[in-house]
Amino acid sequence: MTIASTPRTDQLLTLRNVVKHFDISGGLLDQLRFQNGRLTRRRTTVKAVNNVSFSITAGETFSVVGESGCGKSTLARTTIGIYPPNRGEILYRDQRIDNKNAQQMLPFRRKMQMIFQDPYASLNPRKTVMQTLEEPVVFHNPRISSADVRQRVATVMSQVGVDPKWAGRYPHEFSGGQRQRISIARALMVDPEFIVADEPVSALDVSIQAQILNLLMDAQQQRGLTYLFITHDLSVVEHISTRVAVMYLGTLCELSPAKPLFETPRHPYTQALLSAIPKLGRPASQHIRLRGEVPTPIHLPSGCVFHGRCIHANQRCREEIPMPKQVETGVIVACHGIEEGRI
């Protein structure tokens, strides 16, 4: 299945039919079951990401949205090489990176950095800010002088709005927002091109969220960064994204430039997701309430993974996986109902 982006040049990162499943069968004894008087062995697999394809253009903010558990973090971690994909290809500037060993990945590691949701968990509590920030620089440039490293730490700390005088302090001595600024500084220390930001503001107070988003946008402008931005918070996405991919049960159902997605959501799931954003003047009666619950990614539904919750679903939706189709320039939707003109 190809949900490729609009044809563009200068594609920084491409995913082709990426699959990431987790085997949670446990040990052999956990897998054995008595069924009809016979001992059988059963494996259990979480199908977190299924046949996902897209390309991210240099300089854009590509957001992936969807409810908790739909596979966003797994997709982010697979993209950056924390998890190896089970199938598919990941390319960085036309070079395959999914099949490289740790040594071969080193030059790519410098270019690709990640910012996590919880800065307290992602910063080492026993290291000062200086130690945290100098570590990646020294790792990637072993011959750099300590004066140069300190200078670089001071410059980046100023850029992210943390006073360089505090470089000797530990993470617990900072507020949540400042800690996230330090996490961003750590990512910027090695001069990356591509940053995966996994829910970077979800753990912060609303008043701080805008400051951190502005910092990320300023850094993007100043350094020409490309972002893969993961979030469940659609109100954040609307203002910062170039394009948005909507994910449901490990599958992309819609991929669109941000403006048309928010103005005219196409896929029934996107419509329901967007109707839940509180908006002045929109009565609660206009919220689309989906029937049923999100199925488990251990037993994916047949056909369209959304069919059990979709009021437009018919027999074809229950049987046949919908292929992504372009419905207008740059807007790609995987839905039989839209393809047939029923929706």
Interface with ligand ADP (CB under 6 A): 22, 24, 46, 48, 66, 68-74, 297
- Least distance in angstroms from the C-beta of 66 to ligand ADP: 6
Tokens of 3: 């949900």
- Using the minimum distance from each CB to ligand ADP, give the nearer residue, 193 or 198: 198
- Least distance in angstroms from the C-beta of 203 to ligand ADP: 14
- Using the minimum distance from each CB to ligand ADP, give the nearer residue, 61 or 79: 79
Tokens of 18: 């990426």
From CA 297, how far away is CA 149, in angstroms rounded?
46
- Least distance in angstroms from the C-beta of 192 to ligand ADP: 22
- Using the minimum distance from each CB to ligand ADP, give the nearer residue, 48 or 137: 48
Query: What CA–CA distances, in Å, run from 237 to 121, 160, 246, 250, 258?
Result: 24, 21, 11, 19, 8
- Using the minimum distance from each CB to ligand ADP, give the nearer residue, 203 or 343: 203
- Least distance in angstroms from the C-beta of 140 to ligand ADP: 27
From CA 220, how far away is CA 201, in angstroms rounded?
16
- Least distance in angstroms from the C-beta of 312 to ligand ADP: 24
What is the SS3 assignment for 281?
Answer: coil
- Using the minimum distance from each CB to ligand ADP, give the nearer residue, 119 or 297: 297
From CA 167, how far away is CA 187, in angstroms rounded?
16
From CA 206, how far away is CA 151, in angstroms rounded?
33
- Using the minimum distance from each CB to ligand ADP, give the nearer residue, 84 or 224: 84
From CA 199, how far away is CA 212, in angstroms rounded?
12
- Least distance in angstroms from the C-beta of 46 to ligand ADP: 4
- Using the minimum distance from each CB to ligand ADP, give the nearer residue, 22 or 108: 22
What is the SS3 assignment for 99?
Answer: coil
Nearest alpha carbon to residue 331 among 248, 246, 274: 246
- Least distance in angstroms from the C-beta of 94 to ligand ADP: 27
Q: Where are the alpha helices (DSSP H) in the chain?
A: 28-31, 72-79, 102-111, 119-122, 129-140, 146-159, 176-188, 206-223, 234-240, 258-263, 268-275, 315-319, 336-339
